[in-house]
Structure 1
Amino acid sequence: MISVIIPVLNEGATIRQVIKVIKKTARVIEIIVVDDNSTDNTVEEALKEKVRVITSSQRGKGISMREGMMAAKHDIIMYVDGDILTYPENLVELLTDAIVNDEADFTKSYFERQAGRVTQLVAKPLLSILFPDLAHFEQPLSGMIAARKSLLKQVHFENDYGVDIGLLIDMHLLQARIREVNIGKLENAMQTWEQLSKMSREVSRTILRKAESIPVQNLETLGNINIIREQMEFSILESIDKLQKMVIFNLDETVFTQNYTYLAALAFDKEDALYQILEHYSDPVIRLERSAALFQGRNLAELLEVADSIPVTPDIRHVIRELKKRGYVCGFITDGFECVANHMKNKLGADFAFANRLHLIHSVSTGELTIPEYFMDGNNPSATYDKSNILKYISDKYHISPQNVIYVGNGESDRVMLQEAGVGVAYHPQFVEVETMADKVIEDICMAPLLDIAQAGSAVRKNNRWPSKKVMRNIGIGSLAAVATAGLIYLAAKQIKKAFEADRDDVDVKALKPA
């Protein structure tokens, strides 16, 4: 009658208890444990309960669920997780009665638990916009479900955190009768920031992909979706119970060793146009918008290739890793593009990135830019663009005092942040004024001294340490380095441009340029 499938990965400590609970049902069942190539004793423990164990052909929960369904002999399929020790003894009945009695085709559980941040901040808001008929579900991401096998054969199993919401949406699109059932109170381990962040991306990606066939009514809907995704990235910070310490690096000035905007303009033959913008426009918003327009038609791969060509501060990965071990949440701030900042965030192991949003359609830049609220003072209608507003944003939204923030920068635009953050660290400062406003100065080419500063937890403000280096030019979006560094930028840009031109047979890069 019922096939109970348990996808598992390294759950040797709990799998036997889960199986014993399921066996307490009075219904005729088979139990299939689908091992996702565990490296512990999961398989050995499951076999002690004399159940069928199969090995997934490829790691991933979605594949395990699909292959378990394919191996099932009965018409009703039930899925449960293998790491929960508080299932009720009548779990099988709770999940399958409605299907057995022909009252539903698909059942999805809900239960009492710790607040589900991805559910509240991503899944439900996106469903309310794109699939309003599903917005009422208490826990759309629940993995304890049951369904008719005939329907499961028609759906797609995502192979990541999007699998559960994907099944719910597919069942809805198949017009299946769906019922949500209460299975009591469950306890499971709280997930880390990295897991929650990954989950939010994969859940939102699945919902948006499932909604591709639904016409978007207006730009406001798109804007709401972007806000939801953005909210998740930063509000997950609240889920870290003991969050008290944060380090923010200026991506352009302290992580990249060369200026991204200038290097990209140089690589794409837009150097002169960039200089014209910086020379004729003083308003930072206009500068940013017109600079973004230079990259119209450039695809994401090209933009990220420029980022990957820029050397980073030698030990930045190690420093970020060590800071996180000490309880700091680490992230980047930049006047540049969100797609580049997020790429570097993932590449270097940071937790978040504050940046401007370059609009991409089918992964190609439209040349349009959206400046997020955290760079503007929402309480002041006449306020202008200012990165330092981020400290107030963090304080208001996440209740993290600026005194608990270490800010690392070196440009003229960093002066306010260096002064208002709890500890302002000037990394090779370009101006005397910047140096005098910082609490600490790092003269070393590496970032390792920051670990000592963070360890101290506070800093004594000191005056001038050493004369500023001669600055070639301040371009507003992020100061260019000294003349010698500019030479390296130029050579690196020429190398990128040469690589683009070599690929013309495959992709006509010139055709991507705006008219």
Structure 2
Amino acid sequence: MKSKYGHRVSVKRQKSNRIYLPREANACATVVIPALNEAKRIREVVAYALADPATAEVIVVDDSSIDNTAILAQQAGAQVLTSSMLGKGASMRDGAAAAAHDLVVYLDGDLRNLRPGIVTSLCLPLLNESADFVKARFGRGGGRVTELTAKPMLKVFFPELAYLSQPLGGIIAARKCLLQTLSFEDGYGVDAGLLLDAHLAGAHLAEVDIGSLEHDSQPLQDLSLMANEVSRVIFNRAKLAGRLHVEQVIAMYESQRQVAASIDYVLTLRKGRRSLVLLDMDGTITPSRFALELARNTGNETALMQLLDTPHDDAITRSERIAELFRFVHKQQFEQVARTMEIRPGVIEFVKQARRAGFMVGIVSDSYFVAADIIRRRIFADFALAHTLTFEGSVCNGQLQINPAFLPDESDAVTSICKSNVLRCFLTDKTLPPVELIWAVGDNLNDLEMLRLADNAFVIDPKLPKLLEEPGITLITEFNDLVELLVYEASESMES
């Protein structure tokens, strides 16, 4: 295969010695574990790798640890090497060079609670000749650097790789002959660099689901350095591939802004909280509707009212037509309207009290994220989930993107776009501990399904009598009613 950098990459398939998994005596891979001060878990990770039938040997490349990482790894049955220089990239390169087998699988040294057979799963696409480079997919989404830096940048500069769930994950399988042609970055950008180099060299990529994954989280200062390193590597590869242009950089920042509206990113913010408050925006937090206020501000009120009076349109069609009204409106106008809209009395105090009581508080809105996120910050909530408008050069192009969190599961042929689907995302989140208590507050029919699913449901200034006819939905006259309820439940909990 020929690289886009101009060199050729030779990937031997070894057809005469093909091995199919699973079967007895099928050890075919070298497992490489770069490790720095991983004494806490390295023994378990080595034992896990050796228990997999696809593992022929385990090499732990010690990055000059000051704890007992090397000793414990050797006692667990691994071959231990000392890295040629500090940095994960050098350790990965040294491990590949020392591998005795053509298939190399990389694992991290701090992993725990892995399902059995991951080494086998990663090797299968290589053995079946459907891939030369395999990335592990785990969990619902990636960490903060993955969601806010790597994915938006890949979406703009390498859109053909946007499908990858974990572009920065260090659990990788590849052919040794391919790895020896790639560049191993010294810092946090090594995994992104290997992925992009393999792709640009023409290697066939695959992604394998390995279930849930647990490992130690990075300190905040390390995340900042990681984001910088990942950005540098992707910019560098985009430049080498002739894909780095000013317009793309602007688009990248817009894509990064939109990531904050994704359910995958929001779920990373939960951080063990078991209780959740979901607030509708238009008519609930704010007495008026954002689209109406923006239409008045931009001279589109008459056109908006005509669109609102089209009962035969489905929700998505109506939303898309309304979005087209705001084509050519500058983002500053969206933001200015959101900054000046009236907030109901008591909302801010309720949000603060709820967060103090351990609730995660978020806005769930059929409106636009550019507005919902400003309202979120005005009331001090944790997150906002809404639909996104696309801006080109800070000017709205009229294109609306429905937030996937509002869409039903693929197996659900009945439910349409609905806020209740956002609630289900939290209930099905596999991150422990699970969500156990949900409060929801709304005002209109489009909030009804969300209110029905919530443990405690409330309406304020209801727009239809049907909301009051629903069992389990409580009418409140102001948000101070909810503040009093929080205080009461907190006192009851203390007494019990």
TM-score by length of 2: 0.52
Pick from 470, 476, 491: which aligns with 1:442?
Answer: 476
Distance 1:114 1:337, change over 3 A: farther
What is the aligned partner in structure 1 of residue 294 from structure 2? Answer: 264
* 1:135/1:288 CA distance change after superposition, 3 Å: closer
Separation of aligned partners in 1, 2:491 and 2:465: 25
Query: Which residue of 2 is the match for residue 37 of structure 1?
Result: none
1:387 pairs with 2:419 = yes
The answer to whether the 8 Å contact 2:278/2:363 transfers is yes
SS of the aligned residue for 2:387 comes to strand
Any conservation in 2 of the 1:359–1:365 contact (CA below 8 Å)? yes
What letter corresponds to residue 463 of structure 2 in structure 1?
A: Q
Give the partner amino acid of 1:421. A
Matched, 1:428 2:461: yes
**1:350-372 deviations in whole A, cap 9, x for unaligned?**
22211111111222111011112
Gaps of 5+ in 2: 1-36, 38-64, 71-81, 95-106, 113-141, 172-186, 198-214
More displaced 10-residue stretch of structure 1: 309-318 or 117-126: 117-126
In structure 2, how many angstroms separate the alpha carbons of the residues matched to 1:257 and 1:204? 43
Partner of 1:253, secondary structure, is coil
User: For the residues of structure 2 that align with 1:265 and 1:201, how far apart are their CA atoms?
Assistant: 38
- The 5-angstrom pairing of residues 179-328 of structure 1 reads 214=243, 230=262, 232-237=264-269, 240=271, 242-282=272-312, 283-328=314-359
**Is structure 2 residue 436 aligned with structure 1 residue 407?**
no
- Cα distance in structure 1, aligned partners of 2:277 and 2:260: 24
Shift of residue 114, structure 1, vs aligned partner: 7.2
Letter in 2 for 1:117: G
- 8 Å CA contact 1:336, 1:355 repeated in 2: yes
Q: Give 1:267 deviation, angstroms.
A: 0.8
The answer to whether the 8 Å contact 1:424/1:439 transfers is yes
1:434 to 1:401, Cα distance in 2 relative to 1, 3 A: farther
Distance 1:442 1:366 in 2: 39
Q: Structure 2 vs 1, CA of residues 411 and 198 (structure 1 numbering), >3 Å: closer, same or farther? A: farther
Q: Distance in 2 between matches of 1:433 and 1:197?
A: 48
What does 1:121-132 correspond to in 2, within 5 Å? 125=151, 130=157
How many aligned positions are there?
A: 328
Offset from partner CA, 1:63-118 (integer Å, 9 cap, x none): xxxxxxxxxxxxxxxxxxxxx997999x998428999xxx9xxxxxx974479833
Whether 2:325 is the aligned partner of 1:334: answer no
Change in CA separation of 1:426 and 1:111 when aligned onto 2, cut-off 3 Å = same
Pair 388,358 (structure 1): closer, same or farther in 2 beyond 3 Å: same
| TM value normalised by structure 1 | 0.50
- After superposition, give the CA deviation of every residue in 1:209-265 in whole Å (9 maximum; x if it has no partner): 77597269x9xx999986798354223046x2x331111000112222321111111
1:296 Cα offset (Å): 0.5
Q: CA deviation at 1:276?
A: 0.9
Q: Which stretch has the larger CA shift, 368-377 or 122-131?
A: 122-131
Fraction of identical pairs, as percent: 18
- Any idea what SS the aligned residue of 1:255 has? coil
8 A Cα contact 2:284 2:460, kept in partner? yes
Task: State the match for 2:101 in structure 1.
Answer: none
CA distance in 1, matches of 2:379, 2:226: 19
Give the distance between the partners of 1:309 and 1:436, measured in 2 at CA: 34
* Whole-Å separation in 2 of the counterparts to 1:247 and 1:208: 38
Q: What SS does the corresponding residue of 1:426 show, helix, strand or coil?
A: strand
For the structure 1 residues 188 and 420, does the alpha-carbon distance in structure 2 shift closer, same or farther, using more than 3 Å as the test?
closer
Provide the rounded CA distance (Å) in 1 between the counterparts of 2:369 and 2:492: 30
> For the Cα contact (< 8 Å) 1:391–1:402, is it kept in 2?
no
Going from structure 1 to structure 2, the CA distance change for 1:96 and 1:190 (only over 3 Å counts) comes to: closer
Question: Is the CA contact 1:281–1:287 (under 8 Å) kept in the aligned structure 2?
Answer: no
| Secondary structure at 1:346 match in 2 | helix
Letter in 1 for 2:299: D
Structure 1 counterpart of 2:137: none
- Over 3 Å counting, the alpha-carbon distance change for 1:206 and 1:390 in structure 2 is farther
Change (3 A) 1:336 1:413: same
Give, in angstroms, the shift of residue 395 of structure 1. Answer: 2.1
Question: Aligned-residue CA RMSD in angstroms?
Answer: 5.2
Report what 1:117 is aligned to.
Answer: 143
